[in-house]
Structure 1
Amino acid sequence: MAKYNDLDPKKWKEYEDINTDSLWIIDRRDNSGAHSGNYHGNFVPQIPHQLFARYTKKGDWILDPFMGSGTSLIEAQRMDRNSIGIELQPEVLEEAYGRIQTETKNKCIAKVILGNSRTVNMDDLMENIGIKKLQFVILHPPYWDIIKFSEDRNDLSNMETLESFLEGFGDVIDNSTKYLEKNRYCACVIGDKYANSQVIPLGFHCMNKFIEKGFLLKAILVKNFGETKGKASQQGIWRYRAITNDFYIFKHEYIFVFKKVK
């Protein structure tokens, strides 16, 4: 049995629901129970489910520094993992916390923290919770300024330049992985953007931030990207624009998996 998950190698044929390929095709979002697809920009619950199954054990502590609607924490509750979520917007945190509580189990804990993941005091947070290490960190940052999540100038979606976005994201990496155990894992879910008639490879910029900070890149996963709320009724328009211009419509996003080796 691996030191970082509960999977039994002798039963590997039984794990038919575990993705082992680098291409993830997810037909529809899991909206069961407390999960909700109403929050603009949240990811499908199947992503944290797969990552937690592969890289965590029951009772482990998981941190999500971009909590949003609480998808990661809800999934952690279902899988008997302890979790911490950090959220910048008080109204978003309040709404998410109410739904997270409906998934509460006696054997695991879910903590939500209001604050900026760049600067939140992780020393105090860990001491207050009473733990010394984290076993997994999952990051789903804003895709820079594609969606404006708030008017807060500290919000990464309000950064004026790519450089300032990446600087801020680098701060989140440093702060959120400070207490991640050595030889444990973290993951980043991110897509690219199109601006000024060119592709901005935001995903790979974020990937390089982790590598620059000494993390070992373990996987580049590509997930199909469904229609967004903004484009749900504009499929024909976007297809017309693509055919009559020189670009392709984004239908994928990345899940980068890293190992902390320093």
Structure 2
Amino acid sequence: MQSFPDFGSGSCFEEQRHEAKGKKKQNPINDLDLENWKSLTDIWTDSLWLIPSRDKSGAHTAEYHGNFVPQIPRQVIQRYTKRGDVVLDAFLGSGTTLIESQRCGRHGIGIELLSEVAHKATARIALEPNRHGIQNHVIIGDSSSPDIKGRIVEALERIGRDLVDLVMLHPPYHDIIKFSDSPDDLSNQATVAAFCEALGRVIENTTEKLRPGRFLIIVIGDKYADSAWIPLGFYVMQEALKREFILKSIVVKDMQGNRAKQNQEQLWRYRALLGGFYVFRHEYVFVLKKKA
């Protein structure tokens, strides 16, 4: 079991390495120097991620309830994109993914349902130094609505591209956290089935322009309901597999500092002992490849 250090330097790992002398062995989906692969100790390849603390460097913030640690998009951006590629995040939230893509020299497209959240994220992203001169475009809209496809195309045209190179999805974990009163909000779907159906539409809409052979990353956890474990993550994974994707990896990430359990550790332990269940300490990072 490997624990990973907190890299909070505020820059993309690949910028912290010196270019190797001579010709690098080229990888079609990233810029990693495979001639010196043993030196890539900051790139994680194990399927268990133990992250001791959230990166709070630069423009990152932990104030938005439900956002994910920047180390997740940082790792997948480096593994599955190249400099100048386009990263699309369909649940923008506080802007974590676009901050990381900007640091690493990738263009970003973010979609956010809630206008107030979108405006705050746009302002926060603008605080991050843009050393590579990349473009970010934030779309206020519903990722599950068919009209979002045309707006993605418009954003791509502004960047000067035809296709997206990586899609990141970190949706609500159904109704665990209520984000708004909007009926379009996935956290307000009446049932798990309705949630999965809506998220399936998000996958279709946001990956239509994903380049064949490139990657969809879904970050999600499970939930309890009526004293039963609901394998929400695997239901969502199946929604992707119904479409044009194959499963490449499942990463299990530990959950640190869950707000719902802060200062209630002993209470949750008691409840687990009483009810015969285990307390959630993990979520999934599903790595899916679009069929060529």
Specify if TM > 0.5. Answer: yes
Corresponding residue number in structure 1 for 2:6: none
How is 1:1-262 mapped onto 2 (pairs within 5 angstroms)?
1-105=26-130, 106-119=132-145, 120-130=147-157, 131-262=161-292
Amino acid at match of 1:113: I
Cα drift, residue 203 of structure 1: 0.3
Q: Distance in 2 between matches of 1:249 and 1:216?
A: 30
Shift of the 256–128 alpha-carbon distance from structure 1 to 2, 3 Å rule, reads closer
Q: Distance in 2 between matches of 1:165 and 1:227?
A: 26
Decide which moves more: 204-213 or 114-123.
Answer: 114-123
Q: Is the CA contact (8 Å cut-off) linking 2:244 and 2:290 kept in structure 1?
A: yes
Q: Distance in 1 between matches of 2:73 and 2:53?
A: 15
Shift of the 228–124 alpha-carbon distance from structure 1 to 2, 3 Å rule, reads closer
Amino acid at match of 2:29: Y
Number of equivalenced pairs:
262
SS at match of 2:38: helix
SS at match of 2:248: strand
Q: Distance in 2 between matches of 1:153 and 1:133?
A: 30
Q: Distance in 1 between matches of 2:243 and 2:291?
A: 10
Cα drift, residue 148 of structure 1: 0.4
Q: Is the CA contact (8 Å cut-off) linking 1:193 and 1:202 kept in structure 2?
A: yes
SS at match of 1:75: helix
- Unpaired segments of 5 or more residues in structure 2? 1-25
C-alpha RMSD over aligned residues: 1.1
SS at match of 2:167: strand
Q: Is the CA contact (8 Å cut-off) linking 2:142 and 2:148 kept in structure 1?
A: no
SS at match of 1:54: helix
Cα drift, residue 107 of structure 1: 1.9
Q: Is the CA contact (8 Å cut-off) linking 2:156 and 2:162 kept in structure 1?
A: no
Amino acid at match of 2:148: N
Corresponding residue number in structure 1 for 2:10: none
Residue identity over aligned pairs, in percent, reads 49
Q: Is the CA contact (8 Å cut-off) linking 1:30 and 1:46 kept in structure 2?
A: yes
Q: Is the CA contact (8 Å cut-off) linking 2:89 and 2:97 kept in structure 1?
A: yes
Q: Is the CA contact (8 Å cut-off) linking 1:104 and 1:110 kept in structure 2?
A: no
Q: Distance in 2 between matches of 1:103 and 1:22?
A: 30
Q: Distance in 2 between matches of 1:197 and 1:83?
A: 40
Q: Is the CA contact (8 Å cut-off) linking 2:110 and 2:137 kept in structure 1?
A: yes
Cα drift, residue 129 of structure 1: 3.8
Cα drift, residue 243 of structure 1: 1.5
Cα drift, residue 125 of structure 1: 3.2
Q: Distance in 1 between matches of 2:244 and 2:101?
A: 27
Cα drift, residue 65 of structure 1: 0.4
Amino acid at match of 2:257: E
